Amino acid sequence: MLDMKFVRENPALVKENIRKKFKDAKLPLVDEVIALDSRKREVNTRANELRANRNKVSKEIGMLMGKGLRDEAEEKKKLVAEQAAELAALEAEEADLAARVTEIMMKIPNIIDESVPLGKNDEENVEVEQFGEQTKVDFEIPYHTDIMAKFNGIDKAAAGRVAGEGFYYLMGDIARLHSAVLSYARDFMIDKGFTYCIPPFMIRSNVVTGVMSFEEMDAMMYKIEGEDLYLIGTSEHSMIGKFIDTITDEAQLPLTLTSYSPCFRKEKGAHGIEERGIYRIHQFEKQEMIVICKPEESMEWFHKMWSYSVELFRSLDIPVRTLECCSGDLADLKVKSYDVEAWSPKQGKYFEVCSCSNLGDAQARRLGIRVKAADGSKYLAHTLNNTGVAPPRMLIAFMENNLRFDGEKYSIAIPKALQPYMGGKTVIEEK
Render pLDDT for 108-144 as a digit per residue (tens, 0 to 9).
999 999 999 999 999 999 999 999 999 999 999 999 9
Give yes or no for residue 29 having a pLDDT over 70.
yes
CA dist., res. 286 & res. 40, Å (int): 43
HSE-CB at 136 with a 13 A cutoff on CA atoms is 1
% of residues, the chain, pLDDT over 70: 92
Q: How confident is the model at residue 271 (pLDDT cuts 50, 70, 90)?
A: very low
CB-CB contact of 363 with 168 (8 Å): no
CA dist., res. 150 & res. 430, Å (int): 6
CB-CB contact of 238 with 261 (8 Å): yes
CA dist., res. 313 & res. 397, Å (int): 9
What is the predicted pLDDT for the residue at 273?
Answer: 43
**106 or 58, which is more confident?**
106
Arithmetic mean of pLDDT, 168-185: 96
Average pLDDT, the chain: 92
Domains and CATH numbers, the chain: 4-105 (1.10.287.40), 122-429 (3.30.930.10)
Contacts of 135 (CB under 8 A, 6+ apart): 319, 343, 345, 400, 401
Q: Which helix (H) or strand (E) holds 289?
A: strand 283-293
- Residue-wise pLDDT for 240-259, tens only, equals 999 999 999 999 999 999 99
CA dist., res. 269 & res. 313, Å (int): 29
